[in-house]
Every structure is written in structure tokens, then in C-alpha cells.
């Protein structure tokens, strides 16, 4: 190899390295700017009795649990806090590189620590995200370290920013709601299709059929699997800074920059396209009740927790035959 050729190769390597460092710096700065703006701080909402107890610590090695909260702020009065329209726990195990999801139905009747028994979706309104984390964590028997919350517009912005999500819509879905000038009406046709942000919101919100919230939570898990797979593609990673800018106004979280970096490096090796999911409460444990004239879904946490533990072990590839205690045992 001639001296001239060596110089050209060396110069090319330096240029490539410099560009790589600039790209890394750009991504780091984008992530830092995003985090500084989405880190939770006093909000415009007035939680009735906001809880600020620190959540359990995560050292990056043991299982980590993240509560995903979807809020509906459409009909709120000034300074009124929202309830959670969607509650989903993503559970990640660094040791087995396995993941699982738990969809908590919003009408699940639970004990809200420090308050009273009520629907699970009222915990956020009563005491903010920390109380919601503690409430759902005690129901499942899992320490929940982090939360990420967004509203309808944040969900729409995310899906549009990544260019849509391909979903097999299992049936025609139609519902008309005169609230908000019909902005959130639902009208989807059966079949495999690319859904934009508004259509995706229609898909995960639809519950106007015989199975109501039961099939809705299934659709939410199905959609999040497809979304996670889409977010991991090379094209999406290239557009990460613009995606972060699009969703930044709508996201709140207690994740730090270090936490985000640990989670990012952790999940890269995970199979995020087919995460097993479980409905909470599972159908075999649901007891329908009326409380103050309203229908709720009652479940015994003592019987639920071993089922949750079994599901996590199965998701990690560990076989188990543990069953929930019978009524006579509890």
C-alpha cells in the first residue's frame, strides 16, 4: 500500500470517526433536552392528596417494572387532575432478557394505600403517579420503579412521528361520540393496515362490543407489541431526535437520564415484537360487584399474586405448576 493510499485511508477514518462522534453527541443532546423537559415536576393538575414517596430503587440488574399511564384530559375542569384511561405494567428482566406486560382494567376494585377501596383508575387522580405506582404494585405484588404518562394527543404524536404502525384490525369498529365535536369518533375497517396516530388511538380505545374492556386490554397489548417492534427499526432510530421533539410536550416520567440509558441498553437485546401479556384481573378471578350502584371488577390480591409470579416465570422460560390459592385456602 502506498503512502498516499495510507494517508487517504487515515483521513477517511478520522472523518468517519468525527462524524460518528458528532452523531452520538447530537443524540445525547437530544435525549438530554427531552429528559429535562419530560421529568415530572409540579403540574397544572391539583391532585387531591399528592403522594411523593420515592419509588423502589433499580440497580440495573434485577427485574424492573414500569407503569404506563394513558390519561384522558378532555372533560377536565380547570386544575382538575385526570384519571388513568389505560394502565399497563411493562416488566423487564435483565438476567433472562425476557419481558411481560400486565394490562390492568380500569374498573378493577382495589385498595388505594392510605385512602379507601375504589376503581384502580382513581389512584392517579387521588395522589398522582406515585400513588398509582404503589396501588398497582401492591395489587400485582411487584415493586414498580418508574412510570411514563401521556394523554391522547401524546399517543397520536408518537405514532405519527414514527410514520404509523401496521396492525391487523380484527373487525370493523365504529362508535360515535358527540363530545369534543366528534374529534375522537371511531371508524375502522377490518384487515391488515397501516394506522396513523388518530386511527391507532381509535384502535386501542374501542370497547363498544360484547367483551368491552376485556378485548380492549388485549388490543392495547397487541398494539404495544407492534409499536415496540417499530421503534427498534433502524429507520426509526435515525429519526429519534425528531421523534423525541414531537412527543416531548405530552410526556411525563420519573426516569432519569441514567435510568433511560440503562433501559435503552437493556432492551436492545430483547425480543420486543412478541411480548407475552396478561389481563388483570384474569377472567377466572373476576367477581362482578355493585358498589354504590356502580359496576366494578373485584379480585382477591392473595389469589392474584401467585398467578402474576407464575406468568413472569413462564415469560422467562421457567416452567412452574404453582396455582392460585383456592377460596378455602385464602
DSSP-derived letter for residue 39 is B
Consecutive 10-residue averages of pLDDT for the chain (330 residues): 54 52 46 58 56 75 90 72 86 89 92 91 90 95 92 89 92 84 87 95 82 78 85 72 81 82 73 82 90 88 95 82 48
pLDDT at 188: 95
| Distance separating alpha carbons of residues 213 and 221, to the nearest angstrom | 12
pLDDT at 330: 41
pLDDT at 52: 64
Whether residue 250 contacts residue 240, with contact meaning beta carbons closer than 8 Å, is answered with: no
Beta strands 108-111 and 117-119, pairing class: antiparallel
The pTM of the full predicted model, rounded to 2 decimals, is: 0.79
pLDDT at 212: 64
pLDDT at 328: 46
DSSP assignments along 281-327, one per residue: S-GGG-EEEEETTEEEEE--HHHHHHHHHHHHHHHTT------PPPT
User: Is the backbone of residue 236 left (phi > 0), alpha (psi -120 to 50) or beta?
Assistant: alpha
Q: Domains (ranges, CATH) in the chain?
A: 39-162+213-315 (3.40.630.190)
Amino acid at each position: 500500500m502506498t503512502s498516499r493510499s495510507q494517508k487517504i485511508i487515515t483521513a477517511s477514518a478520522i472523518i468517519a470517526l468525527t462524524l460518528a462522534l458528532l452523531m452520538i453527541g447530537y443524540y445525547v443532546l437530544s435525549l438530554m433536552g427531552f429528559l429535562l423537559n419530560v421529568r415530572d415536576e409540579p403540574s397544572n393538575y391539583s391532585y387531591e392528596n399528592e403522594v411523593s414517596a420515592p419509588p423502589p430503587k433499580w440497580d440495573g440488574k434485577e427485574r424492573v417494572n414500569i407503569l404506563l399511564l394513558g390519561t384522558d384530559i378532555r372533560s377536565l375542569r380547570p386544575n382538575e387532575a385526570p384519571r388513568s384511561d389505560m394502565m399497563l405494567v411493562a416488566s423487564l428482566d435483565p438476567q433472562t432478557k425476557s419481558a411481560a406486560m400486565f394490562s390492568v382494567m380500569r374498573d378493577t376494585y382495589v385498595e388505594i394505600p392510605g385512602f379507601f377501596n375504589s376503581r384502580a383508575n382513581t389512584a392517579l387522580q387521588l395522589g398522582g403517579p406515585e400513588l398509582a405506582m404503589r396501588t398497582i404494585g401492591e395489587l400485582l405484588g411487584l415493586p414498580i420503579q418508574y412510570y411514563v404518562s401521556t394523554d391522547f394527543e401524546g399517543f397520536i404524536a408518537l405514532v405519527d412521528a414514527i410514520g404509523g404502525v401496521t396492525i391487523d384490525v380484527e373487525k370493523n369498529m365504529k362508535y360515535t361520540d358527540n363530545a369534543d365535536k366528534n374529534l375522537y369518533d371511531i371508524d375502522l375497517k377490518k384487515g391488515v393496515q397501516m394506522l396513523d396516530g388518530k386511527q391507532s388511538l381509535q384502535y386501542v380505545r374501542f370497547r363498544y362490543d360484547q367483551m368491552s374492556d376485556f378485548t380492549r386490554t388485549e388490543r392495547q397489548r397487541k398494539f404495544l407489541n407492534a409499536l415496540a417492534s417499530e421503534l427498534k427499526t433502524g429507520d426509526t432510530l435515525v429519526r429519534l431526535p425528531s421523534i423525541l421533539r414531537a412527543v416531548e410536550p405530552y410526556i411525563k416520567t420519573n426516569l432519569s437520564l441514567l435510568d433511560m440509558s440503562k433501559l435503552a441498553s437493556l432492551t436492545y437485546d430483547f425480543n420486543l415484537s412478541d411480548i407475552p401479556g396478561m389481563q388483570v384481573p384474569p377472567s377466572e378471578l373476576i367477581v362482578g360487584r355493585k358498589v354504590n350502584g356502580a359496576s366494578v371488577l373485584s379480585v382477591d390480591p392473595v389469589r392474584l399474586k401467585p398467578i402474576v409470579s407464575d406468568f413472569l416465570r413462564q415469560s422467562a422460560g421457567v416452567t412452574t405448576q404453582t396455582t392460585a390459592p383456592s377460596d378455602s385456602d385464602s
